[in-house]
Amino acid sequence: MKNIFINPIRILLIIILYLITASTALVGRAQSVAVPYEIGTWEGFRPAAISYTFDDNLPNQYALAVPMFHTNGLKMTLNTVISYWTTFTWSMAQTAASYGDEIASHTVSHNSLGGMGTSQQRTELASSQSTINTRVTNQLCVTLAYPNCSVGTESLVAQYYIGARICDGQLALSTPSDFMQISAIILGSYGSYTTAASINDLADNAVTQQKWCVYLIHALDGDSGFSPLSSSVLQASVNYMCTNQNKFWVETFGNVVRYIKERNASSVAETANTGSSITVQVTNNLNNAIFNYPITIRRPMPTNWPAAAVTQNNKPVSVQTVVSDSTTYVMFDVVPNGGNVVLSETASAPVLGNPVLTLPNSLTLGLGGQSNANYAIYGSTDLLNWLPVQTNAMAGTYTNFTITTSNSMQFYRAQWVP
């Protein structure tokens, strides 16, 4: 029997490495991110990305799926074969694009690129892209789905597209090893994913593994196309996404590619800090005409700030206050190279209500606002001239306070005090 030596130091290093990896799984890698800023692996620091892609521009994709996704506020990718546009009109594609859906390339003829020469491949790739860009005017065609999952000359594909989809039945990595061969999973009768439960399990596995689940769908209901899928099953999958938006970021295939490449190429640097205002620059060296999708950034809420407002290039940016591992963060989405990002100390707008008059000269009011913020109460007899009455420090989000009144008519308002 051999003696087995176990190196305790090596085991300790492996454990430490695992803990570091697990604790940073939702944080994307980037060029240079100044402490304490972080870029989310996926939008909103959610654990998984989901893309629904539809091939071959079949009738029910436009008649059933597009309205279904639009009604639920989700976006999809429609991989279009140029020569298949016979029954349908390009106005359908333009309508879908107006909802934010992606109109992507599935080549001109749907013939396998792997069996073509360079010149023929170039025609398929370039003509498809230029036709879509001419017909669909509010977006650029930037991604490709390989017909019959047959990969052509990757270096040639990369001249026209930022990402291309295969169908190997695997979840895609948070950073694909090859952007010209991004994994996808075929749904419907061709494979084993014909029920909502099986399709939702794929999404849940993506959450567990911090990955990207790309669904590949062809025929719906009565379409005479490949691997039919019931529209009711698709609806159940969409419903699952809508009720679990804290876990799933549902976005078009092209926008997820954009996000990944921007996340990995961007730098975050703080350029000014006055105590009540912080200026940040988010930059990369990518082509801004293509890579213009917002990426999610967060940092711990600055000390003693009750809340924060965010602008980019002097325009308001949606911001959230979130708590993770007992740390309160300010989280926001900004476009790299889109101008200075400014974080400003602020607080929720105060709300006065529930007045109770206690004769002869006291009034109790309820005050709703931001926890840990200070709100000044002002009084006026004419709504023109306002005088301070008292200041209230909020321990929570609601409090009652009492002020002294006179017999004359009096108006009151509250204002946040930085």
pLDDT at 27: 67
Cis peptide before 360 (omega within 30 of 0): yes
Query: CATH assignment of 32-42+266-346?
Result: 2.60.40.1180
CA dist 224 and 228 (Å) reads 8
Task: Output the CA–CA distances (angstroms, integers) from residue 238 to 45, 70, 74, 265, in the order listed.
Answer: 20, 11, 8, 31
pLDDT at 29: 65
Query: CATH assignment of 48-246?
Result: 3.20.20.370
Q: Is the pLDDT of residue 3 over 60?
A: no
The model's confidence at residue 380, banded by pLDDT at 50, 70 and 90, is: confident
Nearest residue to 62 (alpha-carbon basis) of 20, 95, 98, 29: 95
Q: What is the pLDDT of residues 350-371, one digit of tens each?
A: 898 888 887 677 888 889 887 7
CA dist 239 and 265 (Å) reads 34
Nearest residue to 76 (alpha-carbon basis) of 62, 63, 88, 66: 66
CA dist 378 and 370 (Å) reads 18
CA dist 164 and 67 (Å) reads 26
The answer to whether 296 touches 341, Cβ cutoff 8 Å, is no
Q: Identify the residue with better confidence: 408 or 351.
A: 351
The answer to whether 295 touches 333, Cβ cutoff 8 Å, is yes
Q: Is the pLDDT of residue 406 over 80?
A: no
Q: Lowest mean pLDDT: which of 148-157, 235-244, 247-256, 351-360? A: 351-360
* 3-state DSSP assignment of residue 181: coil
Q: Is the pLDDT of residue 20 over 70?
A: no
Range 386-391 average pLDDT: 87
Sheet harboring 307-312: ordered strands across? 32-33, 267-273, 277-283, 341-346, 307-312, 315-317
Nearest residue to 268 (alpha-carbon basis) of 41, 37, 42, 26: 37
Q: Is the pLDDT of residue 95 over 60?
A: yes
